[in-house]
Chain A
Amino acid sequence: MEGAAGRVVLLNCFVSPFGNRVRIALARKGVVFEEKAQNLAVKSALLLSSNPVHGKVPALLVGDKSVCESLVILEFIDDAFAGQPLLPTEPYARSQARFWASYIDAKVRSHTHSLFTVRTICIDRTRFLTLSRLDRKTITWTQMPDCARRVWQSPKGSAAVEEGKNDMVAVLKTLEAELGGKSYFGGAALGYVDVALVPFAPWFATYERLAGFSVAAACPGIAAWAARCVAENPCVAASLPDAESVFQFVCGMRKHFGMID
C-alpha cells in the first residue's frame, strides 16, 4: 500500500513518550499530518471514539480508520507509507528490534494498571471503604507496574522512588549494553528501537530530579546516544518536548494528586 488514503491525524499529548514515537516516525517518513492535542484529564469524544478500548493517546487516524498502540502504529507507518522503513528488512534483525522495543515497554514504562487509576479509587473514599480490609491493603502506593511510574508517581523520598530508580538504572544499563559501540540501536542510522526509546529522553531530567541520580553518570552511553538522536535527526529534534516542560507537567500532576513537593 503506497501511501495511505485519507487525511492523517495524530491524537497526542505533548509529553507522551508513546505519542512522540509516532510523531518521530511520521516526520521521518515525511508524512503530512495534523496533530490534535488531547486533554487526558477530560477526554474528548474524538479520543474516546478513536480508541474505544483504551481511551489513550496516541491514536492515529487515517481517513476514517484509527490505529492505536504506539508500537502497532510504528509498524503500520512502515507498512502503509512509502519511504525508508524503521524496521530492518531481514526477519531475524526485525525480531531483535521487536524484542528490544517490547523490553522497553515492559520495563521502563508498561501499559499496565496505572497508579493514578488506583489513586482515583483511593480518593473516592466511599468506594474505598466498601472494600474489605484485605482489598484495601492490596491497593497501596506500592502497586506500581514499572520503574518510571514508581519514580514520578510516588511521594518524594519514599522507598518506591528508590526502588524505581534502581530498577530504571538497571534497565538503562541493559539497553546501554545492547547499544554497545553502535551509534544507534538500528546500527548506523536511527531505527525502530531508537524511536521506541528516545521519547523518554526528555523525561530523564524529571526522573533525575525526583529520584536524585544522573543518567549521564550512571549510563553515559545512553546519555550520549540520546544527545546524538536529537543532534543528528531533525525528525527527533522537532518531535520532542524540552525537559523543563515535561518537569512542569509532572509537577502539575503530582500536585493534582495531593503530593506536596
Chain B
Amino acid sequence: MSPPVKLIGTFGSPFVHRAEAALRLKGVPYEFIQEDIENKSELLLKHNPIHKKVPVLLHGDQTICESLIIAEYIDETFEGPPLLPSDPYDRATARFWAHFMDQKCGKPLWLSLWTEGELQKGFLKETKENLALLEAQLGGNRFFGGDSAGYLDIALSSLAHWLGVLEEATGVSLMGDECPALRRWAGEYTSNEAVKPCLPSREHLLGYFTANKDKLKLKAMAMLQQ
C-alpha cells in the first residue's frame, strides 16, 4: 500500500494548481493542506526551507518542492496515464516550453498587466510575441500533450484559467483575436473533468485581483527594482 500523499498549497496559486492537476490527471488520491502564505506554518518551513514556497508534495516521509519537479515526480512514481511523452525529443520539447513559461513568459506577462505607460507597452509587446510562439506550438492539437492533457498543458495552465480573469480585472487584452488556438485550448483545459475540480473559482479570483489592484501595481514596480 502506497504511503499517503499530501499537498501543501494555497487558494489561487497557479503553481499549486499544477501539482494538483498532475495528481488528478494521474488519478492519485491526496490530502490538501491549506497554507496561510502570509503566516507560514512550521510544516511548510520544515519541508521547504530553501524557498519557503508552495506547492510542497509530501509522499510518506519524502518531500518534493517546485511545481514542475513535483509533476515529473508524480509521472514517474505512480501508475496512470503518462504526463510526458515517451519520445526523447518530444519530452525535451515539452520541458523546453515549460521552462519558457517560467523563465521568459511569466514575468513580462505579469508586468504587462500591472504597469503603465512606455514600460507597459514594452511588456505587452513581449507578451504578445511569447503568446504567439505558444499559439504556433499548439498548432491544431487539442492539447499541448496531443489528444489528452499532459505535462505541458499543466505547465501552461495559468494561461488557460488565470489569464482570462486577469484580463477582465485589469482591462488589459493579452490574447485578443491573435490566439484562436490558445483560446480554444483554454476552454478544453478548463472543462477537463479531471482538472476542473482543482481550478480556483473564477469569481473568487476576479474578486481578489480587483480588490488588490493598487497593491499589485506597487508590487509590480518593486519587482522591476529586483
A residues within 8 Å of B by Cβ? 1, 4, 53-54, 62, 65, 67-69, 71-73, 75-76, 79-80, 91-92, 94-95, 98-99, 102-103, 110-113, 130-132, 134-135, 138, 142-143, 145, 174
Contacts and interface: CB of A to CB of B under 8 A. Distances in A.
A178 to B, nearest CB: 9
B89 A67 contact: yes
Nearest to B78: A91
Contacts of A91: 73, 76-77
Given A68-B96, A72-B95, A76-B88, A53 B104 contact: yes
B64 interface: yes
B96 to A, nearest CB: 5
B96 A69 contact: yes
B72 A72 contact: no
B39 interface: no
Interface in B65-109: 65-66, 69-70, 72-73, 76-77, 87-89, 91-92, 95-96, 99-100, 103-104, 107
Contact of A94 (B66, B73, B221): B73
B87 A1 contact: yes
A12 B118 CA distance: 35
B62 interface: yes
Contacts of A138: 119, 221, 224-225
A69 B72 CA distance: 17
Given A69-B96, A79-B91, A174-B50, A98 B224 contact: no
Contacts of A103: 50
Contacts of A112: 103, 107
13 contacts: A72-B92, A72-B99, A73-B92, A75-B95, A79-B91, A79-B92, A91-B73, A98-B66, A98-B69, A99-B65, A130-B118, A132-B118, A138-B224
Nearest to B93: A67
Contact of A143 (B50, B99, B224): B224
Contacts of A79: 88, 91-92
Given A1-B87, A76-B91, A99-B69, 15 more contacts: A53-B100, A54-B104, A69-B96, A75-B92, A76-B88, A79-B91, A95-B73, A98-B72, A110-B103, A111-B103, A113-B107, A130-B118, A131-B119, A134-B117, A135-B117
Interface of B: 50, 59, 62, 64-66, 69-70, 72-73, 76-77, 87-89, 91-92, 95-96, 99-100, 103-104, 107, 117-119, 133, 221, 224-226
The 3 closest A-B pairs by CB, nearest first: A79-B88, A91-B76, A80-B88
Given A76-B88, A76-B92, A102 B225 contact: no
A68 B72 CA distance: 19
Contact of B117 (A72, A99, A132): A132
Nearest to A139: B224
Most buried by A among B59, B64, B89, B107: B89
A145 B119 CA distance: 18
A96 to B, nearest CB: 8
Contacts of A131: 118-119
A153 to B, nearest CB: 15
A113 B107 CA distance: 10
Contacts of A98: 66, 69, 72
Nearest to A174: B50
A198 B162 CA distance: 38
Most buried by B among A53, A79, A95, A110: A95
Contacts of B88: 1, 4, 76, 79-80
B119 A92 contact: no
